[in-house]
Amino acid sequence: MTLRPRLHDLYIGRVVLATVLLTWAVLLGFDVVMALSGQLGDLGKGSYDFATALTVVAYTVPRRAYTIFPYAAVIGSLMGLGQLAATSELTALRALGLSRRRLSLSVAAALVILTTLMVVNGETLAPWGQLQSDRMKLAAKTNNVAIARYSGLWAREGDTFLNAVDGEERVVDGERTLELRDVRLYRLAADGSLQSLTRAAVAAHDADGWQLRDVRRIGFGFSPGAAIEQKLAEERWESQLDPNALAAGLTRARNLSAADLRASIEYRNRNNLDAREYEDIYWSRWFYPLNVLALCLAAVPFAFGSLRSGGMGKRLFLGIVFALGFMLLQMLFGRLAGATRFDYRIAYALPPVVMLAVSWWLFRRKSG
């Protein structure tokens, strides 16, 4: 079996791409309409009107397209092959000596193109669009130029715990600044005892690092029952705490890029914090292309067979159920890995391996 593209590969790929794109557009349209209806309850808050809500939802379209694509790929592939089966074109191609495996490779090759685009989208447009959407909605509802707001924030950097009552991020002249208000820094000793308590009216971060203003510090442990108080108008805080890590902590993990997820995982591991949620999403991104292709290849056999065995509608229904079962299995393995602290890489590799094995068995049983 040669892997060099032939005329029939291009024809099958064109049909599959057309049906996948059509299915994708329909599912995405439904999702966008539902998302827009969910924004109606916020209309009238600040300057948040219908036009702003429409723009906010439009920014989220790349992320929604990324999420919906696996379902559209399976359903669209089955519909495309079903269209060829209904016109006896699959039968004609089989009569020419093309095996089911070769026809499935034609489908996979077409899906590789869209899957690659979605992987790039998931790391670029999708997180950027979601961030723009969140910023626009926040700014419209609060009537200010803040791009993110913080409330009741907790963070850890080494032996120091930070708590801020509130704060916000702004972009001024192209420079991003973070300002936290009513900040408390708890520094612990090696034995877990409180070494010092620092309270600052403002903790600001810019290109030069962290600056504390209106600082009051109380140190403990110098002698039993004694404490030393210190007051400063301003002080530089030497910390590796990244404002991006704070922002990531307030953003849903599924809306972050793989690079931001990796940075969040490293930050949490460095400070002995729970990073399982971020590891779950991070490794699901890496296995996204494999999942799409394995899912489609495992469902493709449902498109073959005699129309007298139940019709294309039945096989399409079984293929969709099969696809949904795979997605539920993938989700279950991810949740179990998080609960049992199992390696996410193994958990996310098992379902596509099982699906590929099932697909191989189906093709072996109906070889040709």
Identify whether the C-beta of residue 180 lies closer than 8 Å to the C-beta of residue 193. no
DSSP code, position 186: E
Alpha helices in 235-287 (DSSP H): 243-249, 258-270, 276-286
Q: What is the mean pLDDT of residues 73-81?
A: 83
Residue 221 to residues 196, 199, 200, 217, 229, Cα–Cα distance (Å): 9, 18, 21, 13, 12
In whole angstroms, give the CA distance from residue 285 to residue 124.
13
- Going by C-alpha positions, the residue among 180, 176, 146 that lies closest to residue 163 is 180
Write the pLDDT tens digit of every residue in 21-71.
998 999 999 999 999 998 888 787 777 888 888 999 999 999 999 989 988
Count CB-CB contacts under 10 A for residue 248.
Answer: 22
CATH number corresponding to 146-253: 2.60.450
Dig out the tokens for 120 from the structure: 């790039």
Please tell me which of 81-95, 221-235, 337-351 the model is most confident about, judged by mean pLDDT. 337-351
The pairing of beta strand 194-206 with beta strand 175-188: antiparallel
312 pLDDT more than 80: no
Q: How far apart are the first and last CA of the chain?
A: 12
pTM for the whole thing? 0.69
304 vs 203: which has the higher pLDDT: 203
In whole angstroms, give the CA distance from residue 130 to residue 125.
8
DSSP code, position 17: H
Dig out the tokens for 353 from the structure: 């391996």
The amino acid present at 33, given as its one-letter code, is V
Write the pLDDT tens digit of every residue in 187-233.
888 777 788 888 888 888 877 788 888 988 888 766 666 678 788 88
- Going by C-alpha positions, the residue among 243, 264, 275, 87 that lies closest to residue 179 is 243
Residue partners of 350: CB distance under 8 A and separation at least 6 = 333
Write the pLDDT tens digit of every residue in 115-170.
999 999 988 898 888 888 877 876 676 555 444 545 457 777 778 888 787 677 66
Residue 228 pairs in a beta bridge with: 219
- Going by C-alpha positions, the residue among 366, 359, 348 that lies closest to residue 290 is 348
The amino acid present at 178, given as its one-letter code, is L
Strand order in the sheet with 227-237: 148-157, 160-172, 175-188, 194-206, 209-220, 227-237
Identify whether the C-beta of residue 123 lies closer than 8 Å to the C-beta of residue 259. yes
Q: What is the residue extent of each domain of the chain?
A: 7-124+287-365, 146-253
In whole angstroms, give the CA distance from residue 324 to residue 318.
10
